[in-house]
Amino acid sequence: MPNFSLPDSVFEAAAARYPTPFHLYDERGIRENARALQQAFAWCEDFEEYFAVKALPNPAILRILREEGCGLDCSSETELMLAERCGFSGRDIMFSANAMPPREFALAHRLGAIINLDDISDIDTLAAQGGVGETVCCRYNPGGDFRIGTAIMGNPGEAKYGFTLPQLREGLRRLQALGAKRFGLHAFLSSNTIENDYYPTLAGILMRTARDLAEETGLVPAFINLSGGVGIPYRPDQERTDIRQVGEGVRQVYEEFFPEGGVAVKTELGRWMTGPMGWLVTHAVHEKHTYRDYIGLDACAANLMRPAMYGAYHHITVCGKRDWPADHVYDVTGCLCENNDKFAIQRALPEIAIGDLVVIHDTGAHGFAMGYNYNGRLRSAEVLHRQDGSFALIRRAETPEDYFATLTGISL
Ligand SMILES: *Cc1c(COP(=O)(O)O)cnc(C)c1O
């Protein structure tokens, strides 16, 4: 069993109402995660989760998170516009720069967002696009390998993000000369990490660096931004991160570096918040028996790219057959003309018949959002399972007219 699932009756009821494929999200689960995270960091004054919009950019979800006291982490001008339309403003928006067109800084500045600079050259851009505010955040890349204990968890030295330490020293001085008084420090060193030690280890690096930089520059450390990266157990044999233990681990590091308090902690979780609270609901529409046994679904990689792109595992269940023995081995495929369009490869599953409702788990983050239109495939609908058990269509499926709408110079 995956770490969290709705009962099959909910998927069946949703599929009776909306044509498959669609992504289904669970409101209650998302609210519970937001509360558990805030509880885990309740020791920290001014803690705030800035939900990473890119993980699940649907206004219905963003509004739920706003009701739960979350801000948003935006990575583009369009995401900033979405945040504004959903009622977020000012310090409840974090804008994570990354090789941006300069005008995107101007919108972030106008909204009063906290701007997280990715590179020392961003300082001049920001100065030219509205100016440097009193509080500014910088993204740190410590280089080399990132380890938790002895295990290598990532290779920041190969990553395109962030300032080096000498650049941080110089950059903060320049920001100070341009009017900054307080700074935040951010780093994202390992993605989809379920180890409880990820945030505490990262916090140690950031807090030590921020304390040293504050001493060197005289700037006040305003916050430590632990960014995203806390993972979820996509595989049934993986453990779920214990978020209370994570919060407690960060608290212990905090006490070591900032015993007087006064420095806030921020997070930008995407996957951990909504990943397990989404499912891609599909029907089996085809079967084929050649050198392998294939089941074809009415969804494809254009609806969920992670397996094709990263070889990512997503758990699959068949409605009404959860108790059946997994005594058939299938490649579960989509309909793209791409051999990597497989949701599962050589997966042991119960016998699947055409017409079965097949549910792909943990699609609530970086699922729909990574959709695309290759092969003229259209993005699916998104459906919300509300707390009272009812459903709401929160995005309709694309139509061929949507696909044609951006074409110019030809009438179709
Ligand atoms: C993608 C991203 C996140 C969210 O990452 P998750 O792995 O979904 O938690 C947070 N912050 C930044 C800057 C990102 O690019």
146/265 same-domain check = yes
Q: Which of 8, 3, 91, 6 minimizes the C-alpha distance to 358?
A: 8
Q: Would you say residue 363 lies in a domain?
A: yes
Residue of 80, 268, 274, 310 with the most ligand 1 atoms within 8 Å of its CB, for mutation: 268
175/289 same-domain check = no
pLDDT of residue 318: 98
The DSSP bridge pattern shows strands 381-385 and 391-395 to be: antiparallel
285/349 same-domain check = yes
pLDDT of residue 194: 94
pLDDT of residue 98: 87
337 given a catalytic annotation: yes
Q: CA–CA separation, 178 vs 156, rounded Å?
A: 29
Active-site position among 70, 137, 335, 337: 337
104/230 same-domain check = yes
Atom of ligand 1 nearest to the CA of 272: 9
Q: Would you say residue 133 lies in a domain?
A: yes
Q: How many CB atoms lie within 10 A of CB 412?
A: 8
Q: What is the pTM of this model?
A: 0.97
pLDDT of residue 150: 87
Q: How confident is the model at residue 1 (pLDDT cuts 50, 70, 90)?
A: very low
**Which protein residues touch ligand 1 with a CB less than 6 Å away?**
52, 54-55, 73, 75, 96, 188, 191-192, 227-229, 268-272, 365
Q: CA–CA separation, 10 vs 34, rounded Å?
A: 22
174/269 same-domain check = yes
311/395 same-domain check = yes
168/299 same-domain check = no
Question: Has residue 2 got a pLDDT over 90?
Answer: no
Domain boundary among 230, 245, 275: 275
Q: Would you say residue 115 lies in a domain?
A: yes
From atom 13 of ligand 1, which residue's Cα is the shortest distance away?
A: 96
Q: Would you say residue 185 lies in a domain?
A: yes
Q: Would you say residue 10 lies in a domain?
A: no
Q: How confident is the model at residue 412 (pLDDT cuts 50, 70, 90)?
A: low
Atom of ligand 1 nearest to the CA of 54: 1
375/324 same-domain check = yes
Q: How many CB atoms lie within 10 A of CB 348?
A: 11
| Residue positions counted in the chain | 412
CATH number at residue 365: 2.40.37.10
Question: Has residue 349 got a pLDDT over 80?
Answer: yes
**Phi/psi at 301 (5° precision):** -60, -20
CB-based contacts of 137: which residues, under 8 Å, 6+ apart?
Answer: 94, 114, 115, 116, 117, 183, 184, 185, 186, 223, 225
Q: Would you say residue 99 lies in a domain?
A: yes
From atom 5 of ligand 1, which residue's Cα is the shortest distance away?
A: 228
395/291 same-domain check = yes
Three-state secondary structure along the chain? CCCCCCCHHHHHHHHHHCCCCEEEEEHHHHHHHHHHHHHHCCCCCCCEEEEEHHHCCCHHHHHHHHHCCCEEEECCHHHHHHHHHCCCCHHHEEEECCCCCCHHHHHHHHHCCEEEECCCCHHHHHHHCCCCCCEEEEEECCCCCEEECCEEEECHHHCCCCECHHHHHHHHHHHHHCCCCEEEEECCCCCCECCCCHHHHHHHHHHHHHHHHHHHHCCEEEEEECCCCECCCCCCCCCCCCHHHHHHHHHHHHHHHCCCCCCEEEECCCHHHHHHHEEEEEEEEEEEECCCEEEEECCCCCCCCHHHHHCCCCCEEECCCCCCCCCEEEEEECCCCCCCCEEEEEEEECCCCCCCEEEEECCCCCCHHHCCCHHHCCCCEEEEECCCCCEEEEECCCCHHHHHCCCCCCCC
Give the residue numbers spanning the domain of 317: 276-404
Domain boundary among 275, 307, 331: 275
User: 294 alpha carbon to ligand 1 midpoint, in Å?
Assistant: 34
Atom of ligand 1 nearest to the CA of 228: 9
171/244 same-domain check = yes
219/134 same-domain check = yes
For 359-397, write each residue's pLDDT tens digit: 999 999 999 999 999 999 999 999 999 999 999 999 999
Domain count across the chain: 2
Q: Would you say residue 180 lies in a domain?
A: yes
Residue of 33, 53, 54 with the most ligand 1 atoms within 8 Å of its CB, for mutation: 54
Q: Would you say residue 138 lies in a domain?
A: yes
Atom of ligand 1 nearest to the CA of 270: 8
Domain boundary among 275, 296, 330: 275
364/224 same-domain check = no
Query: What average pLDDT score do residues 314-340 get?
Result: 97
For 48-69, write each residue's pLDDT tens digit: 999 999 999 999 999 999 999 9
- What does pLDDT average to over the chain? 96
CATH number at residue 140: 3.20.20.10
Q: Which of 251, 185, 197 minimizes the C-alpha distance to 45?
A: 251
pLDDT of residue 81: 97
Query: What average pLDDT score do residues 323-330 get?
Result: 97
Query: What average pLDDT score do residues 214-242 get?
Result: 96
Q: Which of 95, 101, 96 minimizes the C-alpha distance to 129?
A: 101
